């Protein structure tokens, strides 16, 4: 790719990569400026993961002042797009992408849409959508699980997906209980309906990922995540700065 000049005519070729996240819902924005290379790609990935914790419909990458050091760095955008679509189902798009960046991305086989401004991307991709999403902070105490089940039941009835309430309650109870057991002060439950799945996610401020393991008869804990795995279509952990989000998807006939 050709090197390019950034905002105000300032040469961006040697400026260190800077990422500024604006997490939000239904749209999150990441402003990216400076030089993207193999060493700085992880910073961009971390910034996007931080935005995914809010489970936006769309993540807009503002790349007006981005310089990509070499074509070998371009696949990071495919990684970001794949991560966002796997969970929570967000679409990644560009704002203000120069033609050489778009051409390099498309040579990898990935077609990321580009919009002339951040505002245009947000308006086009979020306007008029029906949204099914509940998000609540929970007390980091034993009362969190019953509170979470009540919120889940309310959401499933409101969205007419009661058929998945029983497995969803079991999953929610386990994820919330794990968060309370290992987290500090922050536990956040998000329930959403997307792409034919009821999605349940629980965020906390512990960076340690949950690990399913075979439990013995004498073990008090250890079987819950194996149960989650059996009940859902997919589950995983997304690490963010300041903690993690553990999520699960339960198939439903709703769209």
Task: State pLDDT tens for residues 150-195.
Answer: 999 999 999 999 999 999 999 999 999 999 987 778 899 999 999 8
Whole-prediction pTM: 0.87
Confidence of residue 209 (pLDDT cuts 50, 70, 90): confident
Radius of gyration of the CA atoms of the chain, in A: 20
Structure tokens at 51: 């935005």
Mean pLDDT of 115-120: 97
Confidence of residue 217 (pLDDT cuts 50, 70, 90): very low
Helix (H) / strand (E) element for 85: namely: helix 76-86
* C-alpha separations of 238 from 19, 141, 224 in Å: 19, 23, 19
CA-closest candidate to residue 202, choices 175, 171, 180: 175
Q: How many angstroms separate the CA atoms of 41 and 37, rounded?
A: 6
Q: How many angstroms separate the CA atoms of 151 and 94, rounded?
A: 35
């Amino acid at each position: 790719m050709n090197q390019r000049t950034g905002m105000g005519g300032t040469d961006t070729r040697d400026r260190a990569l800077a990422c500024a996240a604006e997490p939000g819902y239904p749209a999150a924005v990441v402003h990216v400026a400076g030089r993207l290379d193999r060493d700085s790609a992880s910073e961009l990935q971390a910034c996007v993961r931080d935005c995914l914790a809010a489970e936006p419909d769309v993540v807009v990458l503002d790349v007006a002042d981005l310089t990509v050091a070499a074509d070998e760095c371009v696949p990071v955008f495919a990684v970001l797009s794949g991560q966002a679509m796997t969970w929570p189902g967000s679409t990644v798009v560009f704002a203000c992408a120069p033609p050489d960046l778009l051409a390099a991305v498309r040579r990898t086989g990935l077609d990321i849409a580009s919009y002339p401004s951040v505002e245009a991307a947000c308006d086009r991709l979020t306007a008029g959508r029906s949204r099914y999403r509940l998000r609540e902070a929970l007390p980091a105490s034993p009362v969190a699980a019953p509170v979470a089940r009540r919120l889940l039941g309310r959401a499933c009835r409101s969205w007419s997906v009661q058929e998945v309430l029983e497995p969803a309650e079991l999953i929610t109870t386990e994820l919330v209980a794990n968060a309370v057991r290992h987290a500090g002060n922050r536990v956040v439950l998000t329930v959403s309906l997307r792409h034919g799945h009821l999605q349940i996610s629980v965020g906390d401020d512990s960076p340690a990922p949950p690990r399913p393991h075979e439990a013995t008869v004498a073990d008090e804990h250890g079987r819950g995540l194996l149960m989650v795995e059996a009940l859902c279509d997919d589950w995983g952990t997304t690490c963010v700065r300041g903690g993690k989000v553990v999520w699960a998807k339960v198939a439903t006939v709703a769209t």
